């Protein structure tokens, strides 16, 4: 028998999709695993595989860029953001834990690619925190790695 939290996941996934359906979620989010052909990460050529993170009906999750106070208190870089809430997997939807935190082998890296108004070609971000301590949602905190932050 499913727990109360497991029973609520389909409902909260549908509710979290509403802002995207109204056009209020301009950023798409993907987890990108890079595999390097060289002996060390960053050497030789890189191939990427990406898994898009979505809520119900393919809607993107909330992306919120942190203000100056949150950046200072968290010791983060300018342009850092939070992503979520992201609904954990349930029969028929949600996001698998392993899609956000894939098992890596030597020569692989994991980043978040955010595409939207500030990053039309997609900006790469490193995951600085992955909060999984709630039964109904995951949260990511990310810092920019390559593009000028907003």
Q: Do 100 and 139 form a contact (C-beta atoms < 8 A)?
A: no
Q: Residues 33-59, buried b or exposed e (16+ Cβ, 10 A)?
A: bbbbeeeeeeeeeeeeeebebbbbeeb
Q: Taking phi first (over 0 means left), then psi (-120 to 50 degrees means alpha), and beta for anything else, what does residue 42 get?
A: left
What is the predicted pLDDT for the residue at 105? 86
Provide the token pair at 121: 């070609």
Chain mean position to CA 11: 21
Please report, rounded to a whole number, the percentage of residues in the chain having pLDDT higher than 70.
97
- The pLDDT tens digits of the residues spanning 7-36 come to 999 999 999 999 999 999 999 999 999 998
**Is the pLDDT reported for residue 149 higher than 60?**
no
The mean pLDDT of 107-124, rounded to a whole number, is: 92
What is the predicted pLDDT for the residue at 107? 84
The mean pLDDT of 43-63, rounded to a whole number, is: 92
Architecture per CATH, 4-144: Beta Barrel (2.40)
The mean pLDDT of 96-102, rounded to a whole number, is: 92
| Residue 76 or 40, more confident | 76
What is the predicted pLDDT for the residue at 150? 47
Nearest to 130 by CA among 118, 138, 122: 138
What is the predicted pLDDT for the residue at 1? 80
Provide the token pair at 116: 């939207």
Element (H, E) at 74: helix 68-74
Domain ranges of the chain: 4-144
What is the value of pTM for the model shown? 0.88
CA distance 72 to 89: 33
Average pLDDT, rounded, for the chain: 91
């Amino acid at each position: 028998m499913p727990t109360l939290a497991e029973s609520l996941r389909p409902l909260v996934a549908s509710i979290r999709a509403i802002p995207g359906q109204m056009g209020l979620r301009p950023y798409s989010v993907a987890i990108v695993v890079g595999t390097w052909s060289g002996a060390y990460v960053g050497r030789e050529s890189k191939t990427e595989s990406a898994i898009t993170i979505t809520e119900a009906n393919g809607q993107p999750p909330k992306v919120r860029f942190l203000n100056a106070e949150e950046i200072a208190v968290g010791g983060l870089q300018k342009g850092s953001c939070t992503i979520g809430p992201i609904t954990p997997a349930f029969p028929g939807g949600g996001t698998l834990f392993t899609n956000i935190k894939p098992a890596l082998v030597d020569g692989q890296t994991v980043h978040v690619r955010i595409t939207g108004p500030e990053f039309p070609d997609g900006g790469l971000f490193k995951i600085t925190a992955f909060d999984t301590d709630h039964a109904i949602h995951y949260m990511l905190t990310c810092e920019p790695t390559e593009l000028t932050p907003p």
